[in-house]
Amino acid sequence: MTVLILKRIALGVFTLWLVSLLVFAGTQLLPGDVASAILGQSATPEAVAALRRDLGLEVPALVRYGHWLWGFVQGDLGQSLANRQPVAELLWPRFWNTMFLAAYAAIIGVPLAVTLGILTAVRRGGVFDRLVNVAALGTVSLPEYFLGLVLILVLAVQYPVFPSLADVYAGMSFGERVDATTLPMLTLLLVTVAQIMRMTRTAVLAVMDSAYVETAYLKGLRTGRVVMRHALPNAAAPIVNVVAFNIAYLITGVVLVEAVFNYNGLGRFMVDAVSKRDLPMVQACAMVFGAAYVLLNMTADIAAIALNPRLRHPR
């Protein structure tokens, strides 16, 4: 088991290196020129060339990649080209805003989704099972920005329960932050709960049809005990994987949601950096997203290994 875990960690590090290659190559292919974007259209060619030399853009791409990657490994995210400030000082406050929103949605969504998945599996074919599945399919089929706009229309315009814009700032209380981020949280909740619920239902149903579960019922055990003691532990591995995948989505896939609600998170920050051709900022945002995604999926793989008795106790 230790060897398998070490292999997963090595694979995660290798994947993150490949991500760094793709991120750097992708930012080099962005249209436009950073120096021209900073100086404006009225800048002379001499001024643009001087600024490019000052920013180090005349250095070969391979050399710049090496310097950038080595700095990232050491925790140095570089300097913003647009305002000449350290990227880390600008990035981390937005990152923690995104993490707060993701944690808010995950704390409510994961227990709710797993519970609904178990209940629909136990009551398969019934009215409750059909209604929940129809609702889940409906929310999964709709794009996030559309769900966000519908929630704004209903819960902020027609019935002003929550603010329409998720305006957060330093120094606001925890309650104020929760109130401001409730609508984007509900948008993310509608998508992730449906996916986790359906996977939980499928995994539990696959185990419920096993012979040892039927034996447990024949022994007179109650349904709740059979599900919690026999079915759910054996269905945990795929559930853990889909939970990790959706938490990774909550962190990395919130660009549209943050744009709809004008939330000051990392996703909207990255979009602004792309529009300004601020390459170090775009690279740092993309690498943070990539690292979070790889880390969560690697954790899910290790958890799946730990939950599989055949891998824990090989012959």
Digit-coded pLDDT (tens) for 91-138: 888 889 999 999 999 999 999 998 898 888 888 888 888 998 888 888
For residue 233, the one-letter residue type is P
Tokens of 32: 């436009």
Residue 239 lies in a domain: yes
User: 3-class SS at 86?
Assistant: strand
Q: Answer whether residue 153 shows pLDDT above 80.
A: yes
Rounded to a whole number of angstroms, the CA Rg of the chain reads 24
Q: Are 157 and 174 in contact (CB under 8 A)?
A: no
pLDDT digits (tens, 9 = 90+) for 234-266: 777 788 888 888 888 888 777 888 888 888 888
Residue 313 lies in a domain: no
Q: Are 108 and 185 in contact (CB under 8 A)?
A: yes
Q: Answer whether residue 310 shows pLDDT above 60.
A: no
Q: What is this structure's pTM?
A: 0.81
| 84-89: average pLDDT | 82
Q: Answer whether residue 84 shows pLDDT above 60.
A: yes
Max mean pLDDT among 27-41, 222-236, 252-266 falls in: 252-266
Lowest mean per-residue pLDDT among 30-44, 76-90, 176-190: 30-44
Angle at 180 between CA 176 and CA 186, to 5 degrees: 130
pLDDT digits (tens, 9 = 90+) for 253-307: 778 888 888 888 888 888 888 777 777 888 888 888 888 888 888 887 777 777 6
Residue 123 lies in a domain: yes
For residue 259, the one-letter residue type is A
User: 3-class SS at 170?
Assistant: coil
Residue 297 lies in a domain: no
Share of the chain above pLDDT 70, in %: 90
Residue 11 lies in a domain: no
Distance CA 107, CA 303 (A): 19
Distance CA 286, CA 34 (A): 18
Distance CA 92, CA 99 (A): 10
Residue 80 lies in a domain: no
Neighbours of 227 (CB within 10 A): 22
Q: Report CA-CA distances (Å) from 148 to 57, 72, 155, 191, 254.
A: 40, 35, 10, 11, 11
Residue 187 lies in a domain: yes
Q: Residue 35: which pLDDT band, with cuts at 50, 70 and 90?
A: low
CATH number of residue 193's parent domain: 1.10.3720.10
Which residues, at least 6 apart from 266, have a Cβ–Cβ distance to it below 8 Å? 91, 94, 95, 97, 98, 254, 285, 288, 289
Q: Report CA-CA distances (Å) from 163 to 89, 94, 107.
A: 28, 20, 21
Distance CA 267, CA 277 (A): 15
- The parent domain of residue 227 ranges over 95-278
pLDDT score of 46: 72
The total number of structural domains in the chain stands at 1
Q: Answer whether residue 315 shows pLDDT above 60.
A: no
Residue 230 lies in a domain: yes
